[in-house]
Amino acid sequence: MQSCIRICAGPATSPRLAALQHAWDAQLAPHAGERLEPLLYNAARGHGQQVVFAADGDRLIGCAAWVLLGVVQDGCAYGAPVIVLEPQAAPPLLEAVIAAVKHAGATRLRISARPQESAKQQALHAAGFTPVFDFVTFSLACSATIQAALPQDLTPVPFEALNWRKLYALYGESFRSTPNSPLPAFEVFMEDWRDLNREASQVLQSADGTYVAFCFIQDAVVESVGVDEVARGRGIANALYQHAVATLHAQGAASLSALVASSNTASMRLHQKTGFTESAPRRTVYELAL
């Protein structure tokens, strides 16, 4: 008897979600996927309201979430993550995401796929998606080497004293022309960064209190790094990274990783110059005009 695939809304129970996580990690081995529970239920995904699951009986064989942060700015929505454990899960999951983002007013949809995700890649091609760029995973070994000095006119801002509105403005300016980096709403921005590694992360200000640069680290991953355009070329990003790897080394981490769009040539050059090396297969980002 042929199985019947159901598309259902969350939330999934913890044991079923844990089983999905385990199967996804096995699919991507030796490079595990992101932690699903905090990813699916964060603010950018409506705390689980922008998530659907594919089930075969009681077994989850896939899930898909969508992010609408870029729809107002440029019409672009993002399907992330889209997990396909069995080929028959792919078409209904894609249909659910496409319908949801079109309803929200999106005119484009982007979804990424790793080389191991052949069933998802085939479904994306069949649905009319085309590749636009790659995501590159970089890693830098953590060590206790002497840290690069900050420019003398810049000082770290204590996290308890952060002016989140000023930081939000700097973040938006830093990523104004960066692909695949839509500006979230202010409330989402604050929630996304509340669990930062505050020892490894830094926000820098000039003598007059202007925010100039930031580096956000969660676990041992670079979530975001940015330097105001007028302050670039002074080695600030390198100093931020050296502080991060030294701090992470003291915390017992082996390496710091960062995800960079191949189309962002400035960021690619920065990470290569700073000593990062590619450490995982590239992810291809596919786009569909809606």
278-288 in b/e form (b: 16+ CB < 10 A) is: eebeebbbbbb
- pLDDT, residue 201, reads 97
C-alpha closest to that of 202 among 146, 159, 154? 159
**Distance of alpha carbon 15 from the chain centroid:** 25
Q: What is the mean pLDDT of residues 117-140?
A: 97
- pLDDT, residue 3, reads 58
CB 40 within 8 A of CB 48: yes
Q: What is the mean pLDDT of residues 77-89?
A: 97
Q: What is the mean pLDDT of the chain?
A: 92
Q: Looking at the predicted structure, is the pLDDT value of residue 124 above 90?
A: yes
What secondary structure, in 3-state letters, does the chain show?
CCCCEEEEECCCCHHHHHHHHHHHHHHHCCCCCCCHHHHHCCHHHHHHCCEEEEEECCEEEEEEEEECCCHHHHCEEEEEEEEECCHHHHHHHHHHHHHHHHHCCCCEEEEEECCCCHHHHHHHHHCCCEEEEEEEEEEEECCCCCCCCCCCCEEECCHHHCCHHHHHHHHHHHCCCCCCCCCCCHHHHHHHCCCCCCCCCEEEEECCCCEEEEEEEECCEEEEEEECHHHCCCCHHHHHHHHHHHHHHHCCCCEEEEEEECCCHHHHHHHHHHCCEECCCCEEEEEEEC
- pLDDT, residue 88, reads 96
pLDDT digits (tens, 9 = 90+) for 54-69: 999 889 999 999 999 8
pLDDT digits (tens, 9 = 90+) for 169-219: 999 999 887 777 888 889 888 888 888 999 999 999 999 999 999 999 998
- pLDDT, residue 146, reads 65
Q: Looking at the predicted structure, is the pLDDT value of residue 31 above 80?
A: yes
- pLDDT, residue 176, reads 83
Residue bearing the bigger pLDDT, 23 or 182: 23
User: Is it true that domain 139-281 has CATH number 3.10.520.10?
Assistant: no
User: Which residues of the chain are in CATH 3.40.630.30 domains?
Assistant: 5-128, 139-281
pLDDT digits (tens, 9 = 90+) for 225-258: 999 999 999 999 999 999 999 999 999 999 999 9
Give the Cα separation of 197 and 219 in Å (integer). 6
Place of tokens 């091609």: 125
Which top CATH class is 5-128?
Answer: alpha beta
